[in-house]
Structure 1
Amino acid sequence: MQFYYGHQMPLRILDEAEFWKHQEEEHTVVIRELVSNLEQEYVEALLEWEDALSRTHQQIVRYIESVIRSPGYIPQELYSNVLHLVDFCLRQSLAFIKLCQQIKTESSAVQNNPTAKVVLDHIIRESEYFVGISQVLLAHQQT
């Protein structure tokens, strides 16, 4: 991600978070659909994650609307809240990655489904991408 957005940077950050939280939410469905015989504990975990990611996505959309309504000037409190939300999204993605890795290594249904392993690796890489850009962004904001 480029850092030349100036006063629009919070909106750019939120756009990234909005996109990736929606992706992760969809990924919970992809995993459940791809591995039809997935163990119930993982199905339930993925359903819970789908709901949590949806709530985060909705919160991001509300922040985007707030930033859009602040043309030319974003109050410091709102900017700080955006950064806290991005930090939350980063930590949420790390936990989602952990679940995906657990499913990949511990689910016998996945062990017998080479396509599922490839898809889980792809999902993990995509979430790791969001983690990476979030870490850079948050580090950049502290300097």
Structure 2
Amino acid sequence: MRFYYGQQMPLRILDEAEFWKHQEEEHTVVIRELVTGLEAPYVEALKKWEEVLSATHQQVVRYIESVIRAAYYIPEQLYQQVLQLVSYCLQQSLDFIKLCQQIKTESAAVSKNPTAKVVLNHIIRESEYFVGIAQVLLYENRN
């Protein structure tokens, strides 16, 4: 992500969050569909995550609409709310990564499925990419 967007930076990071929350939501389905015999607690956890990620995705979309309506002037309060949402998205991604790592290391069904391990590693890397973007933005705004 480029950091020369100036006033449009909130919109740019929201675009990233919108994309990655949707990706993570889809990843819950990919894991459930890919891993035959995935243990019930993981299936249930992934279904709950799908709902939570969908709700976050929709919240990000609402903020995108608000920032677009604000045009060239983004009130400080809205900007701070965007930063709080990005912080929430960051923590959510970290928690989702933990679940994916747990499934990868503890699931008997995954241990028998080399493709699932590769896909889980890919999903984890993608969420880590968003975490990196969000951390840089939040760090820069603390200075």
Q: Secondary structure at the match of 1:124?
A: helix
Task: Give the letter for the 2:30 counterpart.
Answer: V
Deviation of residue 36 (structure 1)? 2.1
Paired-residue identity, % = 76
Task: Give the letter for the 1:57 counterpart.
Answer: H
**Aligned-residue CA RMSD (Å):** 0.5
Whole-Å separation in 2 of the counterparts to 1:114 and 1:5? 41
What is residue 117 of structure 1 aligned with on the other side? 117
What is residue 8 of structure 1 aligned with on the other side? 8
What is residue 94 of structure 1 aligned with on the other side? 94
Q: Secondary structure at the match of 1:36?
A: coil
Q: Secondary structure at the match of 1:69?
A: helix
TM-score by length of 2: 0.99
What is residue 47 of structure 2 aligned with on the other side? 47
Q: Secondary structure at the match of 1:83?
A: helix
Whole-Å separation in 2 of the counterparts to 1:98 and 1:12? 26
Whole-Å separation in 2 of the counterparts to 1:68 and 1:76? 15
TM-score by length of 1: 0.99
Task: Give the letter for the 1:63 counterpart.
Answer: Y
- Following superposition of structure 1 onto structure 2, how do residues 102-141 of structure 1 map, counting pairs within 5 Å? 102-141=102-141
Whole-Å separation in 2 of the counterparts to 1:10 and 1:127? 20
Whole-Å separation in 2 of the counterparts to 1:16 and 1:140? 17
What is residue 56 of structure 2 aligned with on the other side? 56
Deviation of residue 2 (structure 1)? 1.2
- Following superposition of structure 1 onto structure 2, how do residues 9-88 of structure 1 map, counting pairs within 5 Å? 9-88=9-88
Task: Give the letter for the 2:37 counterpart.
Answer: N
In structure 1, runs of 5+ residues without a counterpart are none
Number of residue pairs aligned between Structure 1 and Structure 2 = 143
**1:88-133 deviation digits (Å, cap 9, x = unpaired):** 0000000000000000000000000000000000000000010011
Whole-Å separation in 2 of the counterparts to 1:13 and 1:132? 12
Whole-Å separation in 2 of the counterparts to 1:82 and 1:32? 32
